[in-house]
Amino acid sequence: MKWNSAIILLLASGFQSCQFSDHPYKEGKLVYLQQCSPCHGNTGEGFGKLYPNLSDTAYIRQHRNELACWIRHGIGMPASVRSTLRHSDMTMPGFKTLNAVDLSNVLNYINHELWKFSGEFSLQELENGLKSCP
Amino acid sequence: MRLPAAYLIVLTLLSLSCSKKKLPILGLRQIENGDTIYAKTPDFSFLNQYGNRMDKSILEGQIHVANFFFTSCPTICPKTIRSMIRIAEHFKDHPKISYLNFSIDYKKDSVERLKSYYDKLQVSIKQFHLLHIPSMEEIKRVTEMYMSIAVEDPDAPGGFDHSGWLLLADKDFHIRSYCLGTDDKEVDRFIEDIESLLDEME
């Protein structure tokens, strides 16, 4: 009986590690690959001078509260942003189908991959962000 | 003596089964007087990003890859253009491959705009053309002959509904392969198809 239960335990732990050893921000990764990567690249590297990379951590940190609105409603690229991003006259479209949960998932995924901020993007933070959109 | 002979047979069989299959000729075909006439890619005469008029004669003795896009496309085109660049960089200015990116936004995508878009890609690839198609009728004709779709649709992101296929045509202008330009794995397979088409020409 002991051996049996040991084997069952072993099997169970093997099963668990299969299920949970995957990427921790899987949902966010899905959103990222579908919605963001065509322009910003699979690893956020951007695309020539057409689309900016996402790795300007200082800039992102400074605008953290605006990210939700930028993604949901797009960015018209005012001159100030354009000069900061050193990029084109292209505008970013709004992704109206993404709700606060999607936004939190995708931002936490990018944060995990690129920005490495210590605080996660909470649902509360994004809901508040969306409420304050201009 | 028997063993080596058996090995030889097995090896021959293996190498046969491994050799690449010839790519099929795709698209419509007609039988005329017992001959099969295969569909060809369309004739065209369009300006590229440098304002030079390009027609089918530039493709003489070459294979080509075709893509449909527009510069303000917010959805799949950035990805298909990226894939076109990845393919072109893989083949490093191969003299026998041309890359045709047809713009389906005849109103906005002027030669100047195509040039500025090309500059922003920050690549330098020979025979990588962004082509201006002057009218919707021409766009319809060209896309259909490349087995693709592009229609104006105010509700679609960017104003057009279109397919994201990349198409491969041989030197006789028959379409031999295609892939979804938004899918990296399909593009990998497509690159192999281009290699086998190049082998076929030698």
Summarize pLDDT for A53-101 with one digit per residue, the tens: 999 999 999 999 999 999 999 887 555 555 444 344 567 888 999 999 9
pLDDT at B135: 96
3-class DSSP assignment, residue B54: strand
Rounded Cα–Cα distance for residues B112 and B118 (Å): 10
The per-residue pLDDT for A87 is 40
The first and second tokens of residue B174, run together, are 């028959």
Region of poorest pLDDT, from B10-14, B77-81, B85-89, B114-118: B10-14
Q: Given this model, what pLDDT does residue A88 score? A: 46
Beta bridge partners of B145: none
Query: Model-level pTM?
Result: 0.79
Residue in B79, B120, B158 closest to A50 by CB: B120
Segment of A32-41, A44-53, B172-181 carrying the highest mean pLDDT? B172-181
For the beta carbon of residue B157, count every other beta carbon within 10 angstroms: 14
Mean pLDDT of chain B: 90
> With bands split at pLDDT 50, 70 and 90, how would you rate the model's confidence at A10?
low
Strand pairing class (B53-55; B45-47):
antiparallel
Supply φ then ψ for residue B120, to 5 degrees.
Answer: -75, -20
B65 DSSP assignment: E
Q: Give the Cβ contact number of residue A60 at 10 Å.
A: 18
Q: How far is A47 from chain B (nearest CA, A)?
A: 7
CA angle B195, A40, B181 (to 5 degrees): 30
Instruction: For residues B3 and B130, give the distance between their C-alpha atoms in angstroms, rounded to a whole number.
Output: 59
Which of A38-42, B86-90, B194-198 shows the lowest per-residue confidence on average (mean pLDDT)?
A38-42
Residue B76 phi/psi, 5-degree rounding, is -90, -25
Q: Which of B72, B75, B82 to mutate to test the interface with A (most CBs of A within 10 A)?
A: B82
pLDDT at B13 exceeding the cut of 70: no
- For residue B25, pLDDT over 90 is answered with yes
Size of interface A-B (CB pairs under 8 A): 33
Contact B78 A49 (CB under 8 A): no
Q: Residue B171's pLDDT band (boundaries 50, 70, 90)? A: very high
